[in-house]
């Protein structure tokens, strides 16, 4: 079936006049898959609808925030109610207190938080805090972990970069890049050697505890436990970047999943229920170094604005309902299992990696935990699959390095349709 894309194509041509590459975020540009991007005008539950009248079952879910699917009535109504009274005051609000209480009381690893407007801003601020608190400058990150487009972290980062083959962005002073040390994930010997040499300069180690921006590189618990211990020994802060995993693999995210206590955690995506919200938080003793209590400056005109916070509260309250995460996880495991049973029976060089309600198509049979283990042909293979699936009414993020998400709005019927479509598309790909 040929997908109708005329209107999206036209809009994209128009968009290119106004925005670099026609988009406001690079992965949206469909550069690594066939065709131009689809212009979406409506989402409802597990479906999105484009300008040409096509309907898709959506597994991109706005890149992660929509754990309750599109247009959830509780979130929509909370926002609609709030906007009756104005959009922003630049003052503290009652709802701000409520969300602060909601996340710290239900999260064992958060004493205090500061709200910002994006994941990038959260990470940028957490890094500044780590430096301000420790009085040290260097940071250590891992290859394949994406931490937003923060200057000092644009070194060997996530999918957009892997996809476009840029190892680092232009416009970042070398002096700054030199403050960032990078090692492969799970490289215990490398971390040990590096700390022996640099621990006196190292402010923090930052990691996506569930790396999900460059494939889904699920780490061994022991690696994270070991990092925690090492950071304690050397008095280095451990930052978990949970912008994607926070409130996704459980209310306490990866920290709760692995039972490893980071010093600071960064959030975004799900926290805003689809609105632009981020936060960083952690131990009170460290957070109290943030202005106005402490010397680490951080501020935001629209931080914790009441509309975004209303969406966040409604979204988090749904997450806290009994059995919410268990159901999502079971649904996702079943989905993955049915596809991989088919591909294993056929002997395809394919598997899926999954944790909670996150999944990734691994074009290889073996578990992958570092970015260099990813099949270098992933995008060539994914490109074929992506188009096949679009034509069957299934929408995945437009890169083979991106993960997919299952939301509470995905129905059994939609998942059945998708399993069938995936199996058929994989048959076409490997035929």
Ligand X SMILES: *Cc1c(COP(=O)(O)O)cnc(C)c1O
CA distances from 382 to 163, 235, 324, 398 (A): 12, 43, 31, 9
Q: Which stretch binds ligand X (CB under 6 A): 128-136, 142-150, 403-411, 414-422?
A: 142-150
Instruction: State the binding string over 254-293 for ligand X (x if CB under 6 A, else -).
Output: --------------xx--------x---------------
**Residue 374 CB contacts under 8 Å (≥ 6 apart), including other chains:** 214, 215, 362, 364, 368, 401
Q: Note whether 148 binds ligand X by CB under 6 A.
A: yes
Q: Where are the alpha helices (DSSP H) in 320-369?
A: 324-346
283 is catalytic: no
146 is catalytic: yes
109 is catalytic: no
CA distances from 53 to 13, 41, 49, 181 (A): 19, 10, 6, 48
Which residue number, 241 or 388, has a Cβ lying nearer to ligand X?
241
* 200 burial via Cβ count (<10 Å: 0-12, 13-18, 19+): exposed
Q: Note whether 243 binds ligand X by CB under 6 A.
A: yes
CA 49 – CA 61 distance, rounded (Å): 13
Instruction: State the binding string over 77-116 for ligand X (x if CB under 6 A, else -).
Output: ----------------------------------------
Q: Note whether 402 binds ligand X by CB under 6 A.
A: no
Residues in the chain: 431
- Tell me which of 51, 208, 252, 402 binds ligand X, using CB under 6 A: 208
Q: Which stretch binds ligand X (CB under 6 A): 37-45, 124-132, 239-247, 420-428?
A: 239-247
Q: Which of 138, 141, 269, 383 is catalytic?
A: 269
Which residue number, 63 or 133, has a Cβ lying nearer to ligand X?
63
CA 144 – CA 132 distance, rounded (Å): 26
Q: Note whether 404 binds ligand X by CB under 6 A.
A: no
* 310 burial via Cβ count (<10 Å: 0-12, 13-18, 19+): buried
Helix (H, G, I), strand (E, B), or coil: what is residue 180?
A: strand
Helix (H, G, I), strand (E, B), or coil: what is residue 5?
A: coil
Which residue number, 276 or 364, has a Cβ lying nearer to ligand X?
276
- Tell me which of 241, 252, 263, 402 binds ligand X, using CB under 6 A: 241
Active site members? 146, 241, 269
Can you give the binding site for ligand X, defined by CB under 6 A? 118-120, 123, 146-148, 208, 213, 241, 243-244, 268-269, 278
């Amino acid at each position: 079936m040929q997908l109708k894309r005329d209107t999206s194509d036209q809009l994209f041509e128009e968009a290119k006049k106004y925005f670099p590459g026609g988009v406001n975020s690079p992965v949206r540009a469909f550069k690594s898959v066939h065709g131009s991007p689809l212009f979406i005008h409506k989402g409802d539950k597990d479906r999105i609808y484009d300008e040409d009248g096509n309907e898709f079952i959506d597994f991109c879910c706005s890149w992660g925030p929509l754990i309750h699917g599109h247009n959830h009535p509780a979130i929509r109504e909370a926002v609609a109610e709030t906007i009756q009274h104005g959009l922003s005051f630049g003052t503290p609000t009652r709802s701000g207190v409520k969300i602060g209480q909601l996340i710290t009381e239900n999260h064992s690893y958060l004493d205090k938080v500061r709200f910002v407007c994006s994941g990038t801003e959260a990470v940028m601020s957490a890094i500044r805090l780590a430096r301000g608190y420790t009085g040290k400058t260097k940071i250590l990150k891992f290859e394949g972990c994406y931490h937003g487009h923060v200057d000092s972290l644009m070194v060997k980062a996530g999918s957009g970069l892997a996809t476009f083959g840029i190892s680092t962005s232009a416009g970042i002073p070398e002096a700054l890049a030199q403050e960032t040390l990078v090692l492969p994930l799970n490289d215990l010997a490398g971390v040990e050697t590096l700390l022996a040499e640099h621990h006196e300069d190292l402010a923090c180690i930052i990691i996506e505890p569930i790396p999900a921006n460059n494939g889904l590189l699920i780490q061994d618990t022991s690696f994270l436990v070991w990092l925690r211990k090492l950071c304690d020994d050397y008095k280095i802060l451990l930052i978990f970047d949970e912008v994607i995993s926070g409130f996704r693999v459980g209310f306490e995210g990866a920290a709760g999943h692995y039972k490893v206590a980071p010093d600071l955690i960064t959030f975004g995506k799900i926290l805003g229920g689809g609105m632009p919200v981020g936060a960083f938080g952690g131990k009170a003793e460290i957070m109290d170094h943030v202005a106005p209590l402490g010397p680490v400056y951080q501020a935001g005109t629209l931080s914790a604005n009441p509309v975004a916070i209303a969406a966040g509260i409604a979204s988090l309250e749904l997450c806290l309902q009994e059995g919410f995460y268990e159901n999502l996880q079971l649904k996702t495991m079943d989905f993955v299992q049915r596809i991989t049973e088919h591909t294993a029976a056929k002997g395809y060089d394919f598997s899926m990696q999954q944790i909670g309600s996150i999944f990734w198509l691994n074009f290889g049979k073996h578990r992958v935990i570092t970015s260099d283990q990813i099949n270098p042909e992933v995008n060539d293979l994914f490109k074929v699959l992506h188009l096949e699936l679009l034509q069957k009414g299934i929408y995945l993020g437009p890169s083979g390095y991106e993960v997919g998400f299952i939301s509470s709005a995905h129905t059994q019927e939609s998942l059945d349709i998708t399993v069938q479509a995936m199996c058929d598309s994989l048959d076409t790909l490997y035929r």
